[in-house]
Amino acid sequence: MGMKGPHGGMEGVGGGGFPSPWHVLGTEYLLRSPWRDLRVDRVRLHTGDEISYSYLEMPDAVFVVPLTTDGKIVVLRQYRHPVRAWTWEVVGGGVGAEGPVEAARRELLEEIGGRCRELVPLGSFYVGVATLTARSHAFLALDVELGAHEREPMELIETFLLDPDDAFARARDGRVDESQSALALLMAEPRVRAHLAARRR
C-alpha cells in the first residue's frame, strides 16, 4: 500500500491500483492551503531519466445536477476570480471527510437551499490529469425543493431554472462553459429524460 498525501493522493500506485511505472524519489511542497497544495516530485521515469514534476494536490469534488419537483434543472452563473469571468455551472464543491454522497447533499443545500428526494450517482472522472490529482463525482438530485441557501462569503452566484432540453443544449454547445458541469449535465441526461417520461405516464 502506498503512502497517502494530505489530500488523499497515493504514492507508487497508478490508476486502477496498478504499480506506477514512475518512481518518486522525493517530494517538496511549495505551497499548502485548505483548498490545494502545490507539490513538486523528483521522479525517475520509465526511461531511467530523472525530472522534477509539479502539480496540484486537491480534494475530490462533486457536481450535482438538480432536477426540481416541477421538472426544471437548476444551473448557476458564478463569478470565478482566476479567469475573471462569470461561468455557467451546476452545483458543485469539494469533498471532505464525509465522502461524495454527503458532500453532494451539503453543496446542494449550501448553494441553492436544495433538498432532494433521491440522489443518484452518475459516475466519476478525472479532470486536468496532467496537473491535478482530484477526481470528480457526478450526481443527479431528483425532486429538489428549493429553500434558503447558505453560501460562503466568496460565492457570488445567480440561480436559473431551465427546461431540461435547454440545459442539455447549453452543455453541448459550450454555453455551460465550466467543463465538469457540462459533463455532469450530459451524464444526467438519460436519467432525467427517463424520470420525466415515467412521471408523464
Residues 129 and 186 in one domain: yes
Whether 122 and 163 share a structural domain: yes
Total structural domains in the chain?
2
pLDDT values of the chain reduced to their tens digit, one per residue, 201 residues = 233 344 444 454 455 667 889 999 999 999 999 889 999 999 999 999 999 999 999 999 999 999 999 999 999 999 999 999 999 999 999 999 999 999 999 999 999 999 999 999 999 999 999 999 999 999 999 999 999 998 989 899 999 999 999 999 999 999 999 999 999 999 999 999 999 999 888
Digit-coded pLDDT (tens) for 101-118:
999 999 999 999 999 999
In sequence order, what are the residues at sequence separation of 6 or more whose Cβ sits closer than 8 angstroms to the Cβ of residue 24? Answer: 11, 12, 41, 42, 43
Output the CA–CA distances (angstroms, integers) from residue 95 to 23, 61, 98, 125, in the order listed: 28, 5, 7, 14
Residues 48, 73: one domain?
no
Q: Which of 58, 75, 77, 54 is nearest to 66 (CA)?
A: 75
Give the CATH number of the domain where residue 154 resides: 3.90.79.10
Q: Look at the pTM and tell me if it is higher than 0.75.
A: yes
* 92, 145: one domain: yes
Q: Domain check: are 95 and 72 in the same one?
A: yes
Tell me if 91 sits within 8 A of 77, measured CB to CB.
Answer: no
117 shares its domain with 187: yes
Query: How much is the mean pLDDT over the chain?
Result: 92
Range of the domain at 20: 15-57
